Amino acid sequence: MKKYILRSLICLCATVVVFGTGLVPAASSASSLVVAVDTPPRMMNPQGDDSDAGLSYMANFFDGLLQRKGPEGKLAPALAVRWEHPDKLSWKFYLRKGVKFSNGNPFTAADVKFTFERLSNPEVSEFLNTGKTIASIKIIGDYTVVIKTKVPIPWFANNMHQIFIMDKESTESRKPGDVMTRPIGTGAYKLVEWVKGSYIRMTANENYWEGAPSIKNIEVRPIKEPSTRFAALVSGQADIVTGVPVALYAKIKSNPKLQVISRPARRCIFLALGNKTGAPWADLRVRKAMYMAINEKEIIQKIMRGHASPSSQVPDPPTIGYNPDIHRLAYDPAMAKKLLKEAGYAKGFDITLTGPNDRYVQDAQIAEAVARYLAKVGIRVKLDVKPKAIFFPEVTGGKLDFYLIGWFDGTFDMGRTYFKIAHTRDHAHGYGGLNGAAYSNAELDRALEATADIINPEKRRQALMKLNKMAMVDQIVWIPLHYQEDLYAMQKGKGIHFTPRPDRWMVYKEISR
């Protein structure tokens, strides 16, 4: 029952939430910016939504102990000015002094302790995997915190930009519904008004510890329909749009008033596959056959319109553990049929392919193409595509056999990726929480757990590269498809300076005009 409370609370909130006065001017104002985005916020509780879309909103109202800056996502100080890792279990953070929350309360170590203790509460947090790993939190004065984990977590600091610090005093005193809709953080912006389904308006925090952002007023308009987002841009009602659809890329590119910005995305689109005993796909030959039956080159050309690059593994090149020696299996339907015959499935078998139809670029079309390719080698696929709001709870439930999903690791460490989406599901330790097909391999689990206390960067890189090869080549844990390309468009001649982030977050303090 508790797992549903977090999602239910937001539904109880008012449609219009207003916290200040004044409206954001039209998109032409030099002190304002209007952005049309492809995903609306679910809530304003920073621990309640761990999706990249949700974190993107929260990054404007809250800060983490650390932050990621620049096009490469370099880890940098934020609410912590520096940090130490004195032993395998301990992380010591020295906090920034003189910072205030948007309600005027001072930021101290008590807020950090409160936030990290909150992570393990399923009624308010989707960061349970992080919360469950924490053994203790010790405050040393008002501006030093020591967090001790139950097991070594080499990537712990790498995740600190995603854990946004909340004000202990106001969070404890407010009603849950208010916490879900009214963010009180230390961020560069303050929420002015949130009209669900219409817009989110925010204004600059003039007392921001890093300096007041140059753009004073931001209006974010969540518009799910791509053609409607495009129309908002063409009409001048929006300065920037995110999630430019590949089908409209050429049209936007040819418009002299518009500019398209693209960057290779860190997100890999792949097929997750279970291995329960007795299932045809538990056989390595079948997994290899399914892999070789899919024409990824054609998917990129025809479905992605060239706006993707083939992947041989789920981690992307900036991630520790990416292995350049891993290569895609060649598209070879004849060999796929041969392998199926060797495995005893010359006549194929039935399987259901599940996936979202509103989360990734061309997701439903990709799933349909995969089903067609597998049909050509005799595998009968039942398609089950659905809205992400229905799909993702099924993933966390671990009841699927075969599904399409996307992933990039915000910590830039492959170890966290494998613990979350490949390790045998282990609720007590917080392992395998997004292993939606309940894949389980004791050898892989042991190898992964053996990397947990490797802190030396080069030794860690080598160990994770070896683990990655075991998973992607020797065991075919997943069938990789491609890395997406992030596409944005904006008005030309408006003096807007915008560089996309590797995590796809829209952090407005980084944009100027």
Task: Give bridge partners of residue 199 from the DSSP assignment.
Answer: 195
Cβ of 224: how many Cβ atoms within 10 Å? 13
Which stretches in the chain have pLDDT values below 50?
A: 1-5, 8, 10-15, 20-28
CATH architecture of 2-239+494-510: 3-Layer(aba) Sandwich (3.40)
For the chain, the domains span 2-239+494-510, 265-485
Scan for tokens 């430019």, then name that residue: 244
pLDDT tens profile 259-288: 999 999 999 999 999 999 999 999 999 999
Is the fold of 2-239+494-510 the same as that of 265-485?
Answer: no
Position 128 scores a pLDDT of 84
pLDDT computed for residue 301 by the predictor = 98
Q: What is the pLDDT of residue 16?
A: 52
The whole-number pLDDT of residue 115 equals: 98
Task: Determine the topology of domain 265-485 in CATH.
Answer: Dipeptide-binding Protein; domain 3 (3.10.105)
**pLDDT value for 25:** 44
Give the model's pLDDT for residue 2. Answer: 46
Q: What are phi and psi of 335, to 5 degrees?
A: -65, -35
144-149 vs 402-407, strand pairing mode: unpaired
DSSP helix/strand/coil, 332: coil
Nearest to 411 by CA among 171, 7, 55, 42: 55
Q: What is the pLDDT of residue 12?
A: 45
For residue 475, CA distances in Å to 414, 438, 450 come to 17, 15, 18
